[in-house]
Every structure is written in C-alpha cells, then in structure tokens.
C-alpha cells in the first residue's frame, strides 16, 4: 500500500467537504417567504395567528366568526413577559421585531382594542418544524453550517479516519 502525500490528502479532504456541501439539500425557507401563520390564541370574537419572520414575528388578528381582518385601534405585545414594539403592516398584519432569539414555545401575550372592546389574548408560539430551521436562520454560510451539523460531523470523522490511515500506513512502511 502506497502512502498518500500531504498535499494530496488535503486536496482529497477539500474535495470531499465541497462535494458534501454542494450536494446538500437547500434550506426550505427564505427571507422573502415568511412561514405560515398558526393560531395561537382566541376568544369568542377574535383569533390571534402568529408566525416567525426574517427578523421577528408576524401577528394577524381575525374575526372568529367569518375570518375577516379585525379593525384594531390599539395593540400591546409581550413575549415571555417582555414588552415588544408592534408595527402595523399594509396587509392588516402586525410585525414584532425581535433580536436573535428562538421563538419556539415562548409565551405570547397580546392586548388588543377593537370595536370599542379591549381583549387580552395569551398563548404559546408554536413554530412549525421548530427542530428544523426557522426563517431567521436560513441565509448565509452560518445557516448552512447550522442546518447541516450531522453532515459536518460526518466530514470531520472521515477526515480523521483518513489522517489516521495515512499515519498508520507511513509507520508500517
């Protein structure tokens, strides 16, 4: 058995790593396509839907009876007991900017004033596929490495085995 030289070893390891990343499946989400909204809380009049977005959380309030948008006059939002800013969007939804925190299973409390009625809604944020990627973690190289930890470990293990095989073959020859 002939020993592999140093440059050839690094070349082989590099080709293996690049081919693994090139053949990897692409992340499911993107910054431009927010995740679908899921019902979080509700009352007899209003249903609160929430979903993760690229840099925060999207909220939508609908009438429970017919599913039309609620005419909101005031909205107060808190996530895990911390008050958050909520901005109205053109499509009658609300955007809550959040720092880089995971949203899965956080407690969401919303106080909404509509049609002269003030309601307090509370529930848990349920992110579809919370074990997978959220919409905030899908862009850039860090997202690829975060999403493919098992593949990174596999490449590391193969590289270690190759180095060990070369060291043993050099010692025996």
**Bridge partner residues of 124 (DSSP):** 107
**According to the model, what pLDDT value does residue 36 have?**
81
Residue 33 has pLDDT above 70, yes or no: no
Q: Angle at which helices 6-22 and 149-172 pack, to 10 degrees? A: 160
CATH number at residue 44: 2.60.40
Note whether 107 and 79 are within 8 A (CB).
yes
Neighbour tally for 140: CB within 10 Å: 9
- Residue 103 binned pLDDT confidence (cut-offs 50, 70, 90): low
Is there a single domain that holds both residue 19 and residue 102? no
Q: Let me know whether 15 and 63 are in one domain.
A: no
Give kind and range of the element (H or E) at residue 157.
helix 149-172
Q: Residue 168 is part of which domain span?
A: 6-29+137-172
pTM listed for this prediction: 0.54
pLDDT value of residue 166: 92
pLDDT for 130: 52
User: 3-class SS at 114?
Assistant: strand
47 and 83 both lie in a single domain: yes
Residue 29 and residue 35: Cα distance in Å, rounded? 8
- Per-residue confidence at 38, pLDDT binned at 50, 70, 90? confident
- Tell whether the model's pLDDT for residue 131 goes beyond 60: no
Residues 46 and 90 reside in one and the same domain: yes
Asked if residue 52 and residue 99 are part of one domain, the reply reads: yes
Q: Is residue 1 part of a domain?
A: no
Contact 170, 5 (CB under 8 A): no
Q: Which residues contact 140 (CB under 8 A, 6 or more apart)?
A: none
Mean pLDDT (the chain) is 77
Q: Is the pLDDT of residue 132 over 50?
A: no
* Average pLDDT of the residues in 3-7: 61
Task: Convert the pLDDT of each residue in 51-83 to its tens digit.
Answer: 888 888 899 999 999 988 888 999 999 988 889
- Domain assignment present for residue 145? The answer is yes
Most distant pair of Cα atoms in the chain: their distance: 87
How far apart CA 83 and CA 86 sit, in angstroms, is 10
CA 96 to chain centre: 15
Number of domains into which the chain is organized: 2
């Amino acid at each position: 058995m002939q020993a592999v030289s140093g440059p050839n070893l690094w070349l082989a390891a590099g080709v293996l790593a690049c081919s693994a990343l090139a053949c990897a499946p692409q992340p499911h989400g993107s910054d431009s396509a927010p995740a679908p909204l899921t019902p979080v809380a509700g009352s007899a009049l209003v249903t609160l839907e929430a979903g993760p977005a690229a840099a925060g959380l999207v909220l939508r309030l609908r009438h429970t009876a017919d599913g039309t948008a609620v005419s909101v006059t005031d909205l107060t939002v808190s996530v895990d007991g911390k008050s958050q800013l909520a901005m109205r969007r053109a499509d009658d939804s609300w955007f809550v900017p959040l720092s880089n925190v995971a949203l899965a299973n956080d407690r969401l409390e919303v106080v909404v004033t509509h049609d002269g009625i003030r309601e307090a809604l509370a529930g848990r944020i349920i992110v579809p596929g919370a074990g997978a990627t959220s919409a905030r973690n899908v862009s850039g190289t860090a997202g690829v490495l975060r999403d493919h930890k098992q593949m990174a470990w596999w490449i590391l293990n193969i590289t270690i085995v190759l180095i060990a095989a070369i060291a043993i073959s050099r010692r025996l020859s």
